[in-house]
């Protein structure tokens, strides 16, 4: 059976979990074709998948790497034009590909296109609405949130199935962006976390060997992710903290650039990768993670029982909500990027090393392992 997979092209989270799903579909004997945008398209093609490239439609960020509702509204006519362009391309792609089903991870254009050509569609998403940040001007926030609820609900309601790769209440990480979001949320089904299977990383990686051999210092993996405009400010914070805290901690930092240098560079306090192919191995063997608060990242930390310091993208309410829930569930500490200096990083890392966050992470892992998201999706799709 032919399956058409669409992954939202801003950040790597959506593509990462859909690539994991694609591997399972291939094992089941299905044929897959992808659609995404920009650097995500390049990454998927590098993984060996056929991937159509469509124009990226995303919110706007300011020079500090923070989400800007005002700029997003300002450029909304341009964004709507790009969205229409996405739909046109996806109609052509789906007609050419002739899939039996479309699986869309947060790509609204692909859902619209599948409805236009009469192909069955399944939405995989952990955000049904946009919420304005307290920092957002009230008028801009209301317009953006109100418009998103009306439009998004109509699109998601058109799908044959809505699957949420999260835990059911009261453990839902993305609750702020799902609950009370209208009728679409009532149709949705929780299937548990959808994350890649574990891998051991490259056979040879000198920093990984040194990392595993480290006994005197605690090991911190600093994982940078998200849209390109948000990465540089967070990387600067990582390098500053690694240098200042090198007596207590050994840091490995990945800049989160899928086109970046794979070979590590030694920096004060540890190592820096442009893109780290061994990231899963580093997470498996670290004492704590510092990360953005993307849903896929948090899901992965839960499934590997890792306490984490979460630093949401500024004014990005999805990540703010995810981080807040993770902290309330007891396995994470949250910090705002503004004012995140080495002293605050050190304070958070010491709190994470006390033990109770790690114990809570183990409890959350046991809960999450009771779900089989891949199996649920394969059942819905009907593989082979």
pLDDT of residue 127: 78
**What is the chain's alpha carbon radius of gyration, rounded to the nearest angstrom?**
20
Class of CATH domain 2-196+371-381: alpha beta
Q: What is the pLDDT of residues 329-380, one digit of tens each?
A: 999 999 999 989 999 999 999 999 988 999 999 999 999 999 999 999 999 9
Class of CATH domain 206-368: alpha beta
Q: Which of 107-116, 145-154, 247-256, 289-298 has the lowest mean pLDDT?
A: 145-154
Q: What is the pLDDT of residues 186-213, one digit of tens each?
A: 678 999 999 876 554 565 677 888 888 8
More confidently predicted of 34 and 11: 34
Mean pLDDT (the chain, rounded): 87
Distance CA 79, CA 72 (A): 8
The answer to whether the 2-196+371-381 and 206-368 domains have the same CATH topology is yes
C-beta of residue 126 within 8 angstroms of C-beta of residue 166: yes
**Is the per-residue pLDDT at 326 higher than 90?**
yes
Q: Are strands 249-254 and 31-36 parallel, antiparallel or unpaired?
A: unpaired
Distance CA 234, CA 225 (A): 9
**Is the per-residue pLDDT at 6 higher than 90?**
yes
Tokens of 345: 């990083």
Give 154's contacts (C-beta < 8 A, 6+ positions apart): none
φ, ψ at 361 (rounded to 5°) = -60, -40
Q: Domains of the chain: which residue ranges?
A: 2-196+371-381, 206-368
pLDDT of residue 354: 87
Q: Percent of the chain beyond pLDDT 90?
A: 65
For the chain, how many residues are written?
A: 384
- When pLDDT is averaged across residues 132-151 and rounded to a whole number, the result is 50
Its pTM stands at: 0.87
Q: Which of 36-40, 137-141, 219-223, 288-292 has the lowest mean pLDDT?
A: 137-141
C-beta of residue 173 within 8 angstroms of C-beta of residue 298: yes
* Structure confidence at residue 223 as a pLDDT band (50, 70, 90): very high
C-beta of residue 350 within 8 angstroms of C-beta of residue 327: no
Angle, helices 342-352 vs 356-368, to 10°: value is 70
């Amino acid at each position: 059976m032919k399956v058409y997979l669409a992954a939202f092209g801003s950040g790597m989270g959506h593509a990462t979990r859909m690539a994991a799903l694609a591997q399972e579909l291939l094992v089941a004997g299905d044929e897959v074709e992808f659609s995404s945008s920009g650097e995500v398209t390049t990454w998927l093609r590098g993984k060996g998948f056929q991937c159509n490239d469509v124009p990226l439609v995303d919110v706007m960020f300011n020079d500090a790497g923070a989400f800007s509702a005002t700029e997003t509204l300002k450029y909304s006519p341009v964004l709507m034009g790009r969205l229409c362009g996405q739909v046109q391309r996806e109609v052509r792609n789906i007609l050419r590909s002739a899939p039996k089903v479309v699986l869309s991870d947060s790509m609204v254009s692909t859902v619209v296109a599948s409805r236009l050509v009469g192909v069955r569609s399944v939405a995989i998403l952990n955000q049904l609405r946009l919420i304005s940040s307290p920092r957002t001007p009230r008028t801009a926030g209301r317009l953006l949130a109100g418009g998103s609820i009306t439009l998004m609900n109509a699109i998601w309601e058109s799908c044959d199935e809505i699957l949420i790769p999260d835990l059911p209440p009261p453990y839902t990480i993305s609750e702020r962006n799902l609950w009370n979001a209208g009728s679409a949320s009532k149709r949705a089904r929780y299937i548990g976390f959808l994350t890649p299977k574990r891998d051991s990383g490259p056979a040879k990686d000198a920093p990984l060997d040194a990392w595993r051999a480290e006994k005197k210092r605690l090991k911190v993996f600093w994982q940078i992710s998200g849209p390109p405009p948000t990465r540089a400010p967070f990387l600067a914070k990582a390098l500053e903290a690694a240098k200042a805290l090198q007596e207590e901690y050994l840091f490995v930092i990945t800049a989160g650039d899928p086109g970046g240098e794979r070979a590590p560079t030694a920096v004060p306090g540890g190592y820096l990768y442009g893109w780290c192919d061994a990231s899963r191995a580093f997470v498996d063997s670290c004492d704590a993670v510092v990360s953005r608060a993307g849903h896929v990242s948090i899901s992965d930390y839960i499934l590997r029982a890792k306490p984490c310091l979460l630093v949401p993208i500024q004014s990005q309410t999805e990540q703010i909500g995810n981080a807040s829930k993770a902290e309330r569930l007891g396995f994470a500490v949250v910090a705002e990027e503004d004012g995140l200096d080495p002293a605050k990083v050190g304070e958070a890392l010491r709190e994470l090393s006390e033990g109770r966050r790690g114990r809570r992470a183990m409890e959350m892992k046991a809960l999450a392992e009771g779900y089989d998201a891949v199996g649920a999706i394969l059942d819905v799709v009907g593989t082979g």
